[in-house]
Structures are given as structure tokens and as C-alpha cells.
Amino acid sequence: MLKGSYMIDLHSHILFGFDDGAKDISESLVMAKQATEHQITIVAATPHYQGQDWLMIQSRVNELNETINQSGIDLKVIPGAELYIDPQLLTMSKEKIPTYNDNGCYCLLEFPMFDLPHYVDQVLFALQVKGITPIIAHPERYGVVIDDPNIIKKWIENGCLIQMNAGSILGMFGNRVKQTGEILIEHQMVHLIASDAHSSGRRGFNLHSAADYLGKLIGDENAAGLVQKNPDLIIAGEPVPVPEVLAYKPRKRFWLF
């Protein structure tokens, strides 16, 4: 599927020197080259964010883009961040909150892997009051979602979007995460797929394999929505079509005695 066409990756750690992603500019460049080999034309740099300077992230993205251009690699990097959910987001001014391409419309938000903090709903609401739509990063990996996928239904109905990791659907994080990813896809609870690439090694750009897999699950056109159309709209700061969420009904278990 998607042969000869492009993909947009809105979650990566390609930006060097900020987090556990690319170690230096050389690794950022190798990752950039790898992204193009996977038909990716735009990558968002979304370093883990816990209050760093947003302007600094943007200026390093500019630096990276210059080096990418000079190297003849046909890839555009746009600035973003993976915001760790924190009560400081309640009081931060809109301009200081990292949004995709600094468009003031969409941000990527990460939760802890196991427990949900009590201020989750408050932060989600506060971001939306500022005009920013939160995109929840890889919820299929969170323990609370694995235990009860319907938690996502409430977040979407409250105006959030959902980003799933390509590696999750490919089984890179184990069977339970893969199964949860499939449940979310089948119940229309996912709006974009991204690589969450961390390095030029094993955790790289695997968007293409995930798009192929999803094409078989939900059809090529729907899969293209998750890696092309919706990411395009997010960068442009335009509304993303949100299909009606289907409630997940776990299969009942019958015990024979």
C-alpha cells in the first residue's frame, strides 16, 4: 500500500542533544536519511519536554534543517515536543507551550506508563481553553488503557486526539500492547500513527511497515488517513475529522466447572 506516496511522522526524537533520542547531529542526519528511505517527507522533532525553552527547541530544529539541506537529504523537520503531563501546563501562557510547527493548535502530550495523575482531566481542559487540542501520545502502551481501552472514549469525546506508535501495532512492545493497539484501531480510537523513533538503530522509522499492516486491517484509504491526511491537517492547524468512537465490549469469559 501507499507505494510511491509520502508519509508524515509527527512523533520522533530526531533532535540531537535534548533527550534520549539522537546523541549528536551525526545521528540526527543518519535518522533523517533513514526517514526518507521510508517515504517520509516531514518529521516532527518532539523531544521529551519538561519545561525546557521552547525557543531553544525551535532554533535547534532550524540548525538541523540547514544541515539536512546541505547534505542533500530531502526531508523537512518541523518543531514540536512531547510534553509530559504536568500541572505547570495549567498556568503556562499559550505562547510558551510547544505546539506543532508553533501553530498554537495541537500539542503532543505524554502520560505516565502506569498510573494516571489526578490532574489529567484538568490539564486536558486547560489546554483546550487555550485553543490547543491535546494529542495523547501512544496510550496503547499505558497500563490503565491496556486494562480498560474505553478510557480513550472519554478523552476523544472531550476533544482530544490519539496518536499510536507504529511499533505497538508491529508487536515491538509485546503482545498486550499490540492487542490494545488493534482494539483501539478497530474501535476508531486512533487519529494518527507515528514512529516515536529514538535512534538510527532498532527504534527507528517503522511507519511504512505499520501502514502496510494497517492497510490489511482497515483498508488502504483509512490507513493513509493516519499517516498522511490527518498529520497534514495537524501541521496546518486545521480540524481533523473524528469518526464516532465505538465502545469496546470485552468478550465475556465462561467458566466450566
CB of 47 to Fe ion, least distance (A): 8
- Smallest CA-to-CA distance from 227 within 5, 21, 45, 4 is with 5
DSSP tag of 150 = T
What cell was used for 37?
528511505
Q: Are 16 and 48 in contact (CB under 8 A)?
A: no
Three cell numbers, residue 16: 540531537
Using CB under 5 A, which of the segments 178-186, 196-204, 225-233, 241-249 binds Fe ion?
A: 196-204
Provide the 3-class DSSP secondary structure of residue 174. Answer: coil
| CA angle, residues 99, 130, 155, in degrees to nearest 5 | 80
Contact string 150-169 vs Fe ion (x = CB under 5 A): --------------------
Q: Tell me how far the alpha carbon of residue 42 is from its chain's centroid.
A: 13
- CB of 178 vs Fe ion, minimal distance in Å: 18
Using CB under 5 A as the binding rule, the residues of this chain from 75 to 104 that contact Fe ion are 82
Report in angstroms how near the CB of residue 165 gets to Fe ion at its nearest.
8
Give 161 or 245: the residue with its C-beta nearer to Fe ion: 161
Residue with CB nearest Fe ion?
196
Half-sphere exposure of 9 (CA within 13 A, CB side): 34
* Minimum distance of Fe ion from residue 12's CB (angstroms): 8
Pick 83 or 245: Cβ nearer Fe ion: 83
CB of 220 to Fe ion, least distance (A): 27
Looking at the Cβ atoms of 82 and 102, the one nearer to Fe ion is 82
Task: Yes or no: say if 28 and 205 are a contact pair by the CB < 8 Å rule.
Answer: no
Minimum CB separation from Fe ion for residue 138, in Å?
A: 7
Q: How many CA within 13 A on the CB side of residue 177?
A: 19
140 binds Fe ion (CB under 5 A): no
Q: Contacts with Fe ion: how many residues (CB under 5 A)?
A: 2
What residues are paired with 108 via a beta bridge? 82, 135
* C-beta closer to Fe ion: residue 86 or 186: 86
Q: Are 105 and 131 in contact (CB under 8 A)?
A: yes
Q: Does 196 bind Fe ion (CB under 5 A)?
A: yes
> Between 18 and 155, whose beta carbon lies closer to Fe ion?
18
Interaction site with Fe ion (CB under 5 A) = 82, 196
